[in-house]
Structure 1
Amino acid sequence: MSSEQPVNSRFAEDLQLKQVAGPAMYGRNTDGPVAYLSVADRTGTVIGYVWANDKDDAAGWVVPQWLSANAVNAGARWLRALRAGKARELAPTAMLAELARGTNDSEPSHAVPGSLTEAPRLAALKEMASGG
């Protein structure tokens, strides 16, 4: 007779995770052109780009790979703003325009004045952010 206890079948089953609720979020991908806004820290160093595309109801945050952890963490403010915009049912580019008007130098990061522009694709923006 073995001294091992049989494993309860509840612990051997694979969990099937299914999100049933959560905050409203813009889509994370698009193949179309994206409007984007440069974001800088207090020293003026660009720490990321907030982007948007209305056709795919998509928006997000792109971070250069070389950033320090503190600079990456400063991006949380922009992600929260995107969630708040989606919760208010703003179109992604309307949210981006709102962020462009809200420069506040007392924050750890701010929208770079006059930096709202467009990239032909999200992939091009990501390549630019990576230094490519």
Structure 2
Amino acid sequence: MSNEDRLNPRLNEDLHFERSAGPPDYGYRTDKPVRYFAVADETDTVLGYVWANDEDDAAAWQPRPAAGPKAFNGGFLWEMKLREFKARGIAPTVALDELARNASDIETGHVVAGSLAEAPSLAALKELASGG
């Protein structure tokens, strides 16, 4: 009997995936105004923005592409922190305010002092992030 005759039968079985609930998360989209603050690295280069909107229960990280890979990778810890707030049932803008006041445990950047502001839409914030 050759090795070809002894194929593992599991290699031919259909895979059946089951969806399970993931961690609680705020929405990633809104067409309404957003509150935000800027996050910078140790050289004070703005990496991106943390934003929130209560009406759509949305909050997320918006990277600044010109800041390079640090902007995209650095957002992970900010997103994880937002998930912690969502798991505790905290409104997005309350989470934003809390992060703006106390984000010393996030190693990928610091809140730029005085950067808490409002944009007329998420699209406007994305334009700001892209340098437009």
TM-score normalised by the chain length of structure 2 = 0.82
Report percent identity of matched pairs.
Answer: 54
Structure 2 distance, partners of 1:93, 1:104, is 19
**Which amino acid in 2 is paired with 1:123?**
A
Which residue number corresponds to residue 55 of structure 1?
Answer: 55
Any conservation in 1 of the 2:36–2:119 contact (CA below 8 Å)?
A: yes
Which residue number corresponds to residue 115 of structure 1?
Answer: 115
- Superposed, 1:79-118 pairs within 5 Å as 79-104=79-104, 107-118=107-118
Measured on the aligned residues, the alpha-carbon RMSD in Å equals 2.2
**Which amino acid in 1 is paired with 2:49?**
Y
Structure 1 distance, partners of 2:28, 2:106, is 29
Which residue number corresponds to residue 8 of structure 2?
Answer: none
Structure 2 distance, partners of 1:105, 1:22, is 24
TM-score normalised by the chain length of structure 1 = 0.82
- Does residue 32 of the first structure (1) align with residue 53 of the second (2)? no
Count of residue pairs brought into register by the alignment: 122
Q: For structure 1, which runs of at least 5 residues remain unmatched after alignment?
A: 1-7
Residue 86 of structure 1 aligns to a residue in which SS? helix
Q: For structure 2, which runs of at least 5 residues remain unmatched after alignment?
A: 1-10
Residue 30 of structure 2 aligns to a residue in which SS? coil
Structure 1 distance, partners of 2:79, 2:95, is 12
**Which amino acid in 2 is paired with 1:94?**
V
Structure 2 distance, partners of 1:16, 1:123, is 38
Structure 2 CA distance for partners of 1:92 and 1:73, relative to 1, 3 Å: same
Structure 2 distance, partners of 1:71, 1:119, is 20
**Which amino acid in 1 is paired with 2:48?**
G
Any conservation in 2 of the 1:36–1:118 contact (CA below 8 Å)?
A: yes
